[in-house]
Structure 1
Amino acid sequence: MQAAGVQKVLHKTRQFSELVMFSHTLFSLPFAVISMVWAAGGWPSWHVMLWGLIALVGARNGANAFNRLADRRFDAANPRTAHRHLPRHLLGTREVGVFVAVNYAIFVFAASMLNPLCMALSPVAILLITTYSYTKRFTWLSHLYLGFVIASAPIGAWFAVTGAFAFTPFVLGTVVMLWIAGFDVIYGTQDIEFDRSHGLWSMPSFFGLTNALRMSKAMHLVMMMLLLLLYYTQQMGWLYLTGLGIAALLLMTEHGIIRPGNARMMKLASYNLNQVISMVILFCTLLDFFFI
């Protein structure tokens, strides 16, 4: 019986991990770490690192689970997403709601363990990450709003270390916003007809495939320009530039392999390559900062 109970807990844990796509933490985590290191002028204290990462995970898990709750009707109607946990009743709405509340509570508690600024801003962060779920119902700017929400990771990480506002975290946050919005537009090209028929807004459904992809490229171009700006303002070296070069090549590859009708290629373009991009930028930035 004890072994069966452990198996049940592990199974449920895996389901919730799949629900919130926990592996996608690689989108925001690397930039949060970079922000912490730059803010501290080195490795921050273990206290700040621990509670900062707990806050990030709590906020992200809560927001993603809430998004699944808010979109469950559309997910069930869309053949591409009908396999998700709520449409298939693998998880119930009540237990997902509890999961959201618990993760938001973890986020607020972790923020309170950092400093007064983080604690004061935690309700604002919850409002922002929760309202994203409804933006696709009324504006094609939903991609940028998603990026804006995820940009709170490096900005919040800076606040966690310093407890104060500064220029650098907002530039880094804008990098994240444009990067996320750019590949979210790519992801959205798979649902152009579905979005139009169900009254959902996105850049691909509003502007069409070609124009939306041009906007995505423009966002990624500005993103790279801002990362280059940080090279000067943070006085980075050649290894940081090498990371930017690799990231640029990966972004060009990403835009070159887009095939809206090919699910495997779209997953590669929208997710897999971007996970590599964030890790490349992280490792090259840290190696440059500490050893060059």
Structure 2
Amino acid sequence: MEGIRTVSATAPVESVASAHGVGGKFKAFKSLVLLEHSVFALPFAYIAALTAMYRATRSVHWLQLLLITLAMIGARTFAMAVNRIIDREFDARNPRTAGRELVTGVLTVRTAWIGAVLALGLFLGSAAALNTLALALAPVAVIPLVVYPYGKRFTDVPHALLALAQAVGPTGAWIAVTGRWSWDAVVLGLAVGIWIGGFDLIFALQDIDTDRAQGLGSVPARWGVRTALIGARASHAVTTALFVWFGLLTGAGVFWWLGLVVVAGAFVYEHSLLHPDDLSRLNRAFFTVNGFVGIALFCFALLDLVTRGLRG
């Protein structure tokens, strides 16, 4: 992208020595799947679960919350591991991702598959321990997780597939608590999915040149930086509207609405950091702001539920 200031696309290359021992392999696998990025989706699963608990009994059911946590971590870990396995050849040709563990040989593909299968088992086992409907729908939730890594091979909007995969979390968390389908939870799920799809448009700006060189599809690679930024702003405007809708559907109190003001301000700040001719603050916009959004809204939602009578 000539004339555009960007973040550095070069990632440090790891040692090619394989990880040894169970501890070394676990550490390498944890790095591979970026376990800490669960902060983006997990708070919204908690919002859905706690709202469902408030409606049902006004009490927190800690075992359910633990099983939901394990299910979310299992599903996300499985998705990330499969993504890395499927994309490893493309990652090797991308300076930003050339240091990933499967590219450098720090972790073997076999070990990554073992980790992925164990994570899938954790997800399905947790769903089974929750209720029958959660278990029945769990395989359906896995489908977009597997399809997404292939999306950029056959579409210019793989971000939409990511949005679909992420929308499942809050909906599933609500089902985990109640054992019933809820359209209120679907609204929250759509908000989360569109939010993550929107900031994936921002994230994809880092790979615009390598995606084009490798024939991979994305909105930035197909239509350019300006269109991607407009799409991200529109996505986050829709996200905010859906959060408002969810609050209305669930009779949210004052702290939820205060939280939405904070989140809306964070979105405005995020997009003020980015300009088609200057992407030098992309990392701050992507990681810092979006990590804050999930945690902040969860804290306000929890405070709202507690002040309205949710008991521990």
Q: Secondary structure at the match of 1:214?
A: helix
Q: In the alignment, residue 146 of structure 2 is paired with which amino acid?
A: T
Q: How many Å separate the matches in 2 of 1:254 and 1:128?
A: 28
Return the offset for 1:150.
1.3
Letter in 2 for 1:156: G
Residue matched to 2:8:
none
Is the CA contact (8 Å cut-off) linking 2:259 and 2:300 kept in structure 1?
A: yes
Pair 1:239 & 2:255 matched: yes
Question: Aligned ranges for residues 18-167 of structure 1 at < 5 Å?
Answer: 18-41=31-54, 42-167=58-183
User: Segments of 4+ in structure 1 off by > 6 A?
Assistant: 259-264
Looking at structure 1, the residues matched to 105 and 41 of structure 2 have their Cα atoms a distance apart, in angstroms, of 29
Distance 1:198 1:100 in 2: 26
Which structure is richer in relative contact order (CA contacts within 8 A, separation 6 or more)? 2
What is the alpha-carbon distance in structure 1 between the residues aligned to residue 280 and residue 96 of structure 2? 12
- Give the aligned CA root-mean-square deviation in angstroms: 1.8
Q: Displacement of 1:14 after TM fit?
A: 2.2
Matching residue's letter, 1:17: K
The Cα of 1:194 is off from its aligned counterpart by 1.2
Q: How does 1:190-269 map to 2 (within 5 A)?
A: 190-258=206-274, 265-269=281-285
SS in 2 for 1:71: helix
Per the alignment, residue 189 of structure 1 pairs with 205
Tell me: CA distance 1:273–1:43, structure 2 relative to 1, closer, same or farther (3 Å). farther
Structure 1 residue 291 displacement after superposition: 1.1
Letter in 1 for 2:63: H
| C-alpha distance in structure 2 between counterparts of 1:82 and 1:264, whole Å | 21
> Residues 43 and 29 of structure 1: is their aligned pair in 2 closer, same or farther, counting only changes over 3 Å?
farther
| Total equivalences in the alignment | 286
Runs (5+) with no aligned partner, structure 2? 1-19
Cα distance in 1, alignment partners of residues 254 and 104 from structure 2: 50
Report if the CA contact (8 A) 1:51-1:110 is conserved. Answer: yes
Residue 104 of structure 2: SS of its match in structure 1? coil
Q: 1:3 maps to which residue?
A: none
Residues 62-112 of structure 1: CA distance to partner in whole angstroms, max 9, x if unpaired?
110110000001111001111111111110001001111111111111111
8 A Cα contact 2:226 2:276, kept in partner = no
Shift of 1:262: 8.1
Which one is further off, 9-18 or 75-84? 9-18
Deviations 1:203-259 (A, max 9, x none): 111111111110110010010011112222222222211111111111111112126
Distance 2:149 2:197 in 1: 14
Aligned to 2:15: none
What do residues 3-39 of structure 1 show as CA deviations (whole Å, max 9, x unaligned)? xxxx954433222111111111011110000000111
Q: Is the 8 A contact 1:259 1:265 kept in 2?
A: no
For 2:30, which of 7, 14, 17 is the aligned residue?
Answer: 17
TM-score (norm 2): 0.87
